[in-house]
Structure 1
Amino acid sequence: MKNFLQQYSEEVSAELHRILNYWMKYTIDKTDGGFYGSVNNNNQPKPGAEKGIVLHGRILWTFSTAYSREAKKEYLEMAQRAYDYIMAYFKDNEHGGVYWSVDAKGNMLDSRKQIYGVAFCLYGMSAYYAASKNEAALNFAKDLFSLIEKYSYDSVKKGYMEVFTRDWKDIDNASSIAKNAKQKKTMNTHLHLIEAYASLYKVWPDETLKQRIAGLLEVFDLYFIDHNKYFNRLFFDENWKEQPDVISYGHDIESAWLLLQCAQVINDAHWIDVFKDYAVKIADAVHVGIGSDGSIWYEYNPATGKINKQRDWWPQAEGMVGYINAYQLTCDEKYLHQSLKTWSFVKEKILDLQNGEWFWGRKEDNSLVNADKAGFWKCPYHNSRACMEVMDRSSFCR
């Protein structure tokens, strides 16, 4: 088994470098600054594509984290490019926070304060400070934390509200990334908020921040995790009334390992024990959403009984981590085999061996999904992080 783990680690290490090299070669916008808003499978940028804070925040996190692991100056230069662009074009100097998107020239396009996007900016700023020791980045991360706590945190019912206007007024969620106006609190935003807070805690071990991370773990335990089936409930109104929705296998397996990691960051013994248990139970539950080729399907709709068997890149990346994590916790080799099997699917069907990076995904019939190679949602985050996590976890089970 040690040979399998060593080979796995070597393969993902090589892939991590391919991913990073791709982004350095094909995504830099040398004309208008920052990074292109869209790049297709032929590595051609789309002129005029809008640029999102999620893309730039994830690039900032990826290359900052890569530099902290391997001090290559080109990684830090990429991180600094993302940092400089965010501070120049996404930062709202009047009302605080960051815009959701700008146009190709850097002009404000969508000014709403989407907590999902603010969280990814915070995530990137924390990692950039760890890599560069740039105090301005840490201060901005602290400012973002304060704004989220001031405007988004629900001090009465707990959890965080989804979206606001530019000046932090309440907004109809119909205009947000959520699907309807009743979805005021979403699992996805809370998941990425807690990882951002955990990243900040590593460089700023503030007691209030620690309490908020523990509070987010409690929210997952109370509301998002279904303790009967061990899937995640995705959408709620502000009073924690659940809104009918799908089961998202990718988000489930991502939460399985990520929530435990956040509990470990704050060294909370209670929540570590709780989420060790949940990590394995969720991994077992997600197995119904895995194909015979090891690929992780997109989602299941309980209302229709239909499974969307499209295999996007990011659930595969999260599956690689979620199952090696379950292996580490149990020493049961079936989980390691699943992680390896998902990686085999990635190598066979998702890696673009000709043009680099990962394809968006494969449809049920294995034809390619025609979508960005790099873009508003397609960032070097899930796949680079998966490579790093597997490398870090490639020792024998604990």
Structure 2
Amino acid sequence: MTEAISADRQLSALRDLASRELSQGILPFWEAHAFAEDGSLRGGVSDDLDYLDDLPRHAVLAARILWTFSAAAEAVPADRERHLATARRALAQLTGPMWDPQAGGVFWSIDAQGAVIDDRKQIYAQAFTVYALACWARVTGDEDALERALWLAGTLDSEARDREYGGYVEARARDWTPTDRTALSELDPDVPKSMNTNLHVLEALTELLRASADLAAREALETLLRTTLDCIVVEAPFAHCALYFDEAWDRCSDGVSYGHDIETSWLLWDAWEALTAHGVDDADLEWRTREASLALAEAVRLHGVDGDGAVLYAGTADGPTDRDRHWWPQAEGVVGWLNAFQLGGRAEDRRAAIRAWDFIEQHVVDRAHGEWHARLDASNRPLAGGTGDLKMGPWKCPYHNARACLEVLRRIEP
């Protein structure tokens, strides 16, 4: 395990701010607003706290809430029972109306009454379900949840893993048969594979291995880590992750997602640490993972950060093309650069992590209504009007920002 960072004045201040934001900002917001009085998940919450109960309820959101409050219960013992109570609400949704009683796995979305809207088995949603169930099981000792997580991971292995070219496909139909409807969102193309889906399968297998020490999870994780390094991480003209692929990993786009790159930088190393803790000893794989982690963190720092410290949204090899500031890349920047500083000792990474948190404090945290603004324009003005601009919605969740706070607490010594 990478050693925690000895805290100086600036890092101690960062740790204190992250602790306060987690306990007084992010978690209380979701406790208050995520669920209706009957325990059902709300469809959405606007920036000014209007409830949007006509929106679909997505399994990804339920899984991310379950993971967040399970992890918080473990990290903050004084509030354990309170956080577990919120986690149980999310668990009830994920394993209740969102779970397919016929073929297993979770539906993509349901309506306010629990009726299925979209029954496809998007692998991204299944991965987050494994991730959340594994964390809940590890924290609470819930053997039924762990068994469900292991079953679902095994189903992904048998139905969505590409044994010829490696990695995992984007989607299956409800019965786990192939489907042409693979796009994760309206902004994504219908392609056989993406870095986003495979990144979060990697993340899920990492959590599952820690919860279970399962040999099949270890093999799948090690294989996917190698595939990610071989097929997804690109070295030229600077380190980044290619985004979309055909079945044989030929690239279908030339875009760069700075947020995904900095997130990948630390999730790669997190996967390696889980593997080595469970018996994997491979000096070459360790070296490759370390070098990719450091290269991705450096590349985002050099190519994907604006003058005010914001992590930009998207670009190409020629430079940024979308200068909006989405909430989640800012959170991932803090963790990614702290991880890079732990690995490489580069002062530039330490400064970048502190600067990223300073930007969050100054511009992203919503002091009026709580939580974080979903998206800012290039002048740091909050944007509204789209589903992606909600305080809570299909893509706006407590997972990135709460996890950033938890990682700060874990990585910086008190």
Normalised by the length of structure 2, the TM-score is 0.92
Deviations 1:91-116 (CA, angstroms, capped at 9, x unpaired)? 11101111000011111110000000
Q: Determine the C-alpha separation between the residues in 1 that align with 2:182 and 2:20.
A: 42
1:320-359 alignment, distance < 5 Å: 320-359=334-373
Q: Are the counterparts in 1 of residues 170 and 182 from structure 2 also a CA contact under 8 Å?
A: no
Deviations 1:272-327 (A, max 9, x none): 3222221211111112110111100000035x865210000000000001111111
Q: How does 1:56-67 map to 2 (within 5 A)?
A: 56-67=62-73
- Runs (5+) with no aligned partner, structure 2: 1-6
- Tell whether the 8 Å contact from 1:264 to 1:272 is kept in structure 2 after alignment: no
Task: Show CA shifts across 1:141-162 (max 9, x none).
Answer: 0111111011101111111111
Alignment of 1:110 with 2:126, yes or no, is no
| TM superposition shift of 1:180 | 3.0
Equivalent in the alignment of 1:80: 88
User: What one-letter code is carried by the residue in structure 2 that aligns with 1:260?
Assistant: W
Q: Aligned partners of 1:218 and 1:329: how far apart in 2?
A: 19
Which of 234, 239, 249 is the equivalent residue of 2:243?
Answer: 234
Residue 3 of structure 2 corresponds to which residue in structure 1? none
1:141 aligns with 2:149: yes
- AA at the equivalent of 1:54: V
Task: Tell me if 1:45 matches 2:51.
Answer: yes
Distance in 2 between residues matched to 1:220 and 1:64, nearest whole Å: 28
Mapping of 1:298-313 within 5 angstroms?
298-302=313-317, 307-313=321-327
Aligned pair partner of 2:272 in 259, 263, 277: 263
Contact 1:173 1:179 in 2 (8 A): no
**Secondary structure at the counterpart of residue 250 of structure 2:** coil
Residue identity opposite 1:7 in structure 2: A
Q: Aligned equivalents of 1:151 and 1:171: distance in 2? A: 12
| In 2, Cα distance between equivalents of 1:276 and 1:180 | 31
Counterpart for residue 180 of structure 1: 189
Farther off after superposition, 280-289 or 377-386:
280-289
Query: What root-mean-square deviation, in Å, do the aligned CA atoms of Structure 1 and Structure 2 show?
Result: 1.6
From 380, 384, 392, the equivalent of 2:402 is 384
Cα distance, 1:10 vs structure 2: 0.7
SS of residue in 2 equivalent to 1:307: strand
8 Å CA contact retained: 1:2, 1:395: no
Shift of 1:25: 1.1
Unpaired stretches in structure 1, ≥5 consecutive residues: none
Q: Report the secondary structure of 2:295's partner residue.
A: helix
Per-residue CA deviation, residues 332-360 of structure 1 (Å, 9 max, x unaligned), is: 22211111111111111100012110000
Alpha-carbon deviations, 1:362-384, whole Å to 9, x = none? 11122212110011110000000
Give me the identity figure in percent: 32
SS where residue 97 of structure 2 aligns?
A: helix
Q: Number of paired residues?
A: 393
Kindly indicate whether the alpha-carbon contact (under 8 Å) linking 1:201 and 1:210 is maintained by their aligned counterparts in 2: yes
Given the alignment, which residue of 328, 333, 337 partners 1:319?
333
Separation in 2, partners of 1:192, 1:335: 24
Q: 1:155-174 CA deviation, whole Å, 9 max, x = no partner?
A: 11111111011111111135
2:199 aligned partner: 191
Taking structure 1 as the reference length, what is the TM-score of the superposition? 0.95
**Following TM superposition, by how much is the alpha carbon of 1:330 offset from its aligned partner in structure 2, in angstroms?**
2.1
**Structure 1 contact 165–171 (Cα < 8 Å) conserved:** yes
Please state if 1:55 is matched with 2:69.
no
